[in-house]
Each structure stands twice: as structure tokens, then as C-alpha cells.
């Protein structure tokens, strides 16, 4: 990776699939580009090199640490840059305040930043001990500690099944409920120690990762956020504008794939109708018939890029 994404900022987060993102995203060099998960601003910085000085860059992130990092990383770019601390489901409000109606490109690079995972105080990782928090920032009210200590056993099992796709969901919920009868579970380390005896030693870390991911998705309402934001982002795109989405697990990718597939299909008539009566034509053209994944070289250099899947589409009509 060259310094084009801001090397000092790669400590905050090393952006993935940057060249592929820029290739699919940029259609109009003087256009307006919205990065809905700007993190440390690595993608925006890379994209800025391909744009004219009069292009406009807007970054949104719900994490105040990301906003500070992006502002610093993007200080030297030629274009006008505005970074806003908010959730992407509120993109309409952000654009209204900025007086922007349509955009030429929109990027979602979902999930968590390296900064969030690696800062033990944020409580995202089972590899380091820290407070059981996991709130990314704006819009996350309940902490991971509130979820783990206050949800019923059934609700915990359901979220481990749904958001973690974890086979041992019931067992995990049962051991948590048993342990919290003695004392509130307050740290990532204690949660890990409570869960470990109930997991298969062979798949221990993979199971812990899925269970922690499930709690994180619940705390930050990540899938609701995505389902709300995708149609809003598409609505704001100009005709010919592009949407790029990078996801890191199958639950997110399924939502994105189905959303883009619906847009590319057009017709919304029930399948039993012999002919189309709705007359709807496709709203988007898929630019990636198959997902784009990081190269082996990128994964070698940045292990965290490995689960990334990129999908892109171009808007055809309002």
C-alpha cells in the first residue's frame, strides 16, 4: 500500500479494495461523492486523487474517533471535504443540512474499523480485555453489557442464532444467564471465559467471533441501519451515478445482494402473474455480476481484508 491512503492513518484503519472501489465508484470527475462509513478517510483520500479540484467529498461516520481521524487524514486533499458524525440511516438529514440534493457516487464500507477492534476500551474484541461496550457511536443506546445482562435467555439465543449463525446459540445463552445470576458480566474477558467451556475447542475462536459479532450487530442495529440506508442512498444518486458496497459477513452481503437484485429486475409483479402489469423497468445495472474479492496479495498484506466482498451498481432511472 502506498501513502495514497495516508500511511499514518493506516494505523487507524487500512482501507480494503481501494483501487476496485475507485474504479467502480468514480463516473464523474467533478461530481459529489458520499462515503457513508468514512472511518479514517482512507477510501475518500484515494478517490480524491482521481477527482477534479471542484469535486465535493462528504464523509459520514457514527464514530466520533473516525470523524477526527478522517478530518486529519483529508486535510491536504484538493477538494472541498465535509465530515459529519452521524449514522448513515440519517443521510437525508445530513444532505439537507449541507444543501445537497443528488450525488454521483455513494460508498458503504460496512462493519468495524481496525481502530474500533484494536482499542480495548471500546470493548469489541474477545482477544483483549475491556469494558463490555461495543457501541460504535451515534445511535447506539444499549451497550453490549446491557444486552448480555438484561436480555432474556430466549432473546439471547435468538440473536446468537440470527446474527451469529451460531449452532451453539442456546448453550451460549444458557451459560450467560447462569453466570449473571452470581454477578453482572462487565468485561469482554469475563464474557469470553464464561462462553469458552461451552464451545468446541476446535472451533473456539470462530465461535467466539460469531457470538461477539452477534452482540455487536444487536448493539448497533447494524442490519436495520443498512436496510434503511440502501434505498435512501439509491434515491439520492443521479442517473449514471454509482453505488459501491463492501460487506464483511454473509448477513450484510445477503441484504445488499437482494437489494441490488430487486433494483436490477425492475418488475415487481407477483411471480404468478403471466405478464408484467407494473411496467417497472430496472432502476440499476449491476456492475459486478459476481462479488469482487481482495487479491491474495492484498490479503497477505492485510489479513482483515480477507472476508471483504464488493458489489457495485449504476443507477439507470429515478
Residues that bind ligand SAM (CB under 6 A): 13, 15, 37-43, 60-63, 66, 87-88, 109, 111-113, 136, 225
**How far apart are CB 190 and ligand SAM at their closest, in Å?**
25
Looking at the Cβ atoms of 160 and 248, the one nearer to ligand SAM is: 248
Looking at the Cβ atoms of 89 and 188, the one nearer to ligand SAM is: 89
Helix, strand or coil, per DSSP, at residue 61: strand
**How far apart are CB 53 and ligand SAM at their closest, in Å?**
21
First to last CA, the chain: 38
Alpha-carbon dihedral 99, 102, 108, 113, rounded to 10 degrees: -20
**How far apart are CB 15 and ligand SAM at their closest, in Å?**
3
Q: Where are the alpha helices (DSSP H) in the chain?
A: 18-25, 42-48, 64-73, 91-98, 114-118, 144-150, 153-164, 169-182, 188-195, 204-220, 222-236, 250-265, 296-301
Looking at the Cβ atoms of 87 and 283, the one nearer to ligand SAM is: 87
Q: DSSP character for 28? A: -
> Which one, of 110, 112, 64, 106, lies nearest residue 84 by Cα?
64
**How far apart are CB 93 and ligand SAM at their closest, in Å?**
12
**How far apart are CB 223 and ligand SAM at their closest, in Å?**
10
Looking at the Cβ atoms of 91 and 208, the one nearer to ligand SAM is: 91
Looking at the Cβ atoms of 118 and 193, the one nearer to ligand SAM is: 118
Amino acid at each position: 500500500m502506498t501513502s495514497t491512503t495516508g500511511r499514518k492513518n493506516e494505523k487507524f484503519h487500512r482501507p480494503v479494495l481501494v483501487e476496485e472501489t475507485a474504479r467502480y465508484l468514480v463516473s464523474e470527475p467533478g461530481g459529489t461523492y458520499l462515503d457513508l462509513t468514512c472511518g479514517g478517510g482512507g477510501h475518500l483520500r484515494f478517490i480524491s486523487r482521481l477527482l477534479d479540484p471542484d469535486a465535493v467529498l462528504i464523509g459520514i461516520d457514527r464514530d466520533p474517533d473516525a470523524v477526527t481521524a478522517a478530518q486529519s487524514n483529508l486535510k491536504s486533499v484538493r477538494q472541498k471535504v465535509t465530515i459529519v458524525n452521524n449514522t448513515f440511516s440519517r443521510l437525508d438529514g445530513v444532505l439537507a443540512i449541507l444543501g445537497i440534493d443528488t450525488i454521483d457516487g455513494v460508498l458503504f464500507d460496512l462493519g468495524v474499523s481496525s481502530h474500533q477492534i484494536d482499542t480495548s476500551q471500546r470493548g469489541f474484541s474477545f482477544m483483549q480485555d475491556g469494558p463490555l461496550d461495543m457501541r460504535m457511536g451515534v445511535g447506539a443506546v444499549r451497550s453490549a453489557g446491557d444486552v448480555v445482562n438484561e436480555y432474556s435467555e430466549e432473546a439471547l439465543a435468538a440473536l446468537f442464532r440470527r446474527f451469529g449463525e451460531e449452532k451453539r446459540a442456546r448453550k451460549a445463552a444458557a451459560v450467560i444467564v447462569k453466570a449473571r445470576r452470581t454477578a453482572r458480566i462487565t468485561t469482554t474477558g469475563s464474557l469470553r471465559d464464561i462462553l469458552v467451556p461451552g464451545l468446541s475447542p476446535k472451533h473456539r475462536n470462530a465461535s467466539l467471533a460469531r457470538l461477539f459479532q452477534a452482540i455487536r450487530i444487536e448493539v448497533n442495529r447494524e442490519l436495520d441501519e443498512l436496510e434503511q440506508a440502501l434505498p435512501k442512498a439509491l434515491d439520492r444518486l443521479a442517473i449514471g451515478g454509482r453505488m459501491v458496497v463492501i460487506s464483511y459477513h454473509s448477513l450484510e452481503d445477503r441484504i445488499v445482494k437482494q437489494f441490488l437484485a430487486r433494483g436490477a429486475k425492475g418488475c415487481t409483479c407477483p411471480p404468478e402473474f403471466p405478464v408484467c402489469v407494473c411496467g417497472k423497468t430496472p432502476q440499476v445495472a449491476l456492475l459486478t455480476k459476481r462479488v469482487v474479492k481482495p487479491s491474495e496479495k492484498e490479503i497477505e498484506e492485510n489479513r482483515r481484508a480477507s472476508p471483504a466482498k464488493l458489489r457495485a451498481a449504476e443507477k439507470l432511472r429515478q
